[in-house]
Structure 1
Amino acid sequence: MTYPLLTAGHLQHARVIERDPRGIKVLQLPDGDYLKVFRLRHRYSLARIYGYAQRFCSHAGKLAALGVPSIHIRACYAVQDARLLAYPLLTDAAATETASAPLSHTFAVHYAPLPGETLKQLLDQQQLPPELVRQLGAFIAELHAKGVHFRSLHLGNIVLTPAGELGLIDIADMKIYPWSLWFGTRLRSFRHLTRYARMNIPFGQSNWTLLVDSYIEQAALTSCQASCLKKKMQHYLLHPPH
């Protein structure tokens, strides 16, 4: 598939939100939309055939089809001029004085964000009531029933929208199956949810218990599965991977 090229015009008055040693990663555009940059991580990678930007766009479309609130894709651009993603952003005059470095397998996705606040933000503001925790448990059960295995599932990537719905952001790292998740995959999903230790402590044991109970009820787990999930959660919370 051929993509339009990213130009300096697309970046006018944009604000750098995130960067790393390779350059700019995320830009906010004047209208509030975002431009997210996807670079090839490894020289020998399947991403040369089906890249992270393409997955990001595909996942957004699939989530919309499943009725899961998420970001809205505006466009995907191929990036061939490294000057456009240098930090700080170069003016047109400065760019003409700088040698261009050709890029390959680098794309920029223009998308509208999902409005609302992340559950991490609400937790930090002490605005995460028990009914919202129960809603979260039911939401995760809904994702699993719809075949969504979100590897970046954590409170910072789940948004409460103004309409009171829960939705997902930062959706590049996921698999969406045409069947409900197997129980083992569901356990791995909860492992992802609990992996950030700094989130575990303020969330509190009572909230984790409430979340799991809500999930078990919504997912209609067997008594054996419910017991297994509770034991696994105790282990995950005591031994987070990060």
Structure 2
Amino acid sequence: MLPMSAIAYQTLTSGAEVLEADGHGPKVMRLATGDFLKLFRRKHLISSEAFRPYAQRFADNACALSALGVPVPEIVGVYRLSSPKRTAVRYKGLPGITLRQAMNSVAPPQRRDLANRFGQLLAQLHEAGVYFRSLHLGNVLLLPDLRLGLIDFADMRLERKRLSLWKRRRNLKHMQRYEEDRRWLFEENIDDLKRGYKEISDQEEFFDE
């Protein structure tokens, strides 16, 4: 993680477009170069952010996912800012649209195919020991070559063995909090989701529990 001065930060973000912000300032910016800068704020005095900053987790997780063959943004650099007090990761974005946008814009036969593809991706992650707690259709991208990529994975964890059935169920339960995701995946196209999952994993029985 490289230090970045206030002046260097101001220079880097000159002309940047703020894509996401909260009451504390920008969270994601598109830089004039076309790269993205994602900023992380330490929310509590005592926090794991102090020992393993989220910006570094983001970069490490990108490396781990890439090693698994999952398309992810290309990391350019990881920084600790002096002002504002943030950590940040700079990366090159992936082309494409979110899977939620894709599901919303295609006909039912194409939705079935996308549900099948997502089932394959989900099984690939679970079998590799990837626990992506906040996985949903908004942080999965459909790329121009029809592969599925991942974004916004700072809270992902990579375990030493494939995920337990309990964690797989928990992952599915979290996704069902989003109304559109629940309808498209777990109601209208559940059979296609299961079929895709079963192509990769022999642990698909947890869907029915």
Shared fold, TM over 0.5: yes
**Cα deviations across residues 125-176 of structure 1 (Å, max 9, x unaligned)?**
2354322211111111111111111111110011111122111100101111
Task: Report the equivalent of 2:172.
Answer: 190
Letter in 1 for 2:90: H
What SS does the corresponding residue of 2:3 show, helix, strand or coil? coil
- The answer to whether 1:212 aligns with 2:194 is yes
Task: Report the equivalent of 1:123.
Answer: 103
User: Which of 51, 54, 57 matches 2:53?
Assistant: 51
**Cα deviations across residues 92-122 of structure 1 (Å, max 9, x unaligned)?**
xxxxxxxxxxx3xx11211111211111111
**Cα deviations across residues 209-232 of structure 1 (Å, max 9, x unaligned)?**
3212321343112xxx61x4223x
Alpha-carbon contact 2:175-2:182 (below 8 Å) kept:
no
Task: Report the equivalent of 2:78.
Answer: 76
Letter in 2 for 1:186: R
What SS does the corresponding residue of 2:76 show, helix, strand or coil? strand
Q: 1:186 to 1:51 in 2, by over 3 A?
A: same
Q: 1:23 to 1:197 in 2, by over 3 A?
A: same
Q: Which structure 2 residues correspond to residues 1-242 of structure 1 after superposition, within 5 A?
A: 2-5=2-5, 6-82=8-84, 103=85, 106-126=86-106, 128-201=110-183, 205-221=187-203, 226=205, 228-231=206-209
Partners in 2 of 1:72 and 1:3 — Cα distance?
20
Give the % identical residues: 37
Deviation, structure 1 residue 4:
3.6
What SS does the corresponding residue of 1:139 show, helix, strand or coil? helix
Alpha-carbon contact 1:137-1:215 (below 8 Å) kept:
yes
Deviation, structure 1 residue 192:
2.1
Q: 1:70 to 1:155 in 2, by over 3 A?
A: same
- Structure with greater Cα Rg: 1
Alpha-carbon contact 2:115-2:189 (below 8 Å) kept:
yes
Partners in 2 of 1:18 and 1:2 — Cα distance?
23
Alpha-carbon contact 1:35-1:109 (below 8 Å) kept:
yes
Partners in 1 of 2:133 and 2:113 — Cα distance?
25
Task: Report the equivalent of 1:96.
Answer: none
Alpha-carbon contact 1:60-1:73 (below 8 Å) kept:
yes
Kindly report the root-mean-square deviation, in angstroms, between the aligned alpha carbons of the 2 structures: 1.9
Q: How many residues align?
A: 205
Partners in 2 of 1:172 and 1:9 — Cα distance?
26
Letter in 1 for 2:167: T
Q: 1:66 to 1:201 in 2, by over 3 A?
A: closer
TM-score (norm 2): 0.89
Unaligned runs of 5+ in 2: none
Alpha-carbon contact 1:123-1:203 (below 8 Å) kept:
no
Deviation, structure 1 residue 182:
1.4
Letter in 1 for 2:3: Y
Q: Which deviates the most, 199-208 or 40-49?
A: 199-208
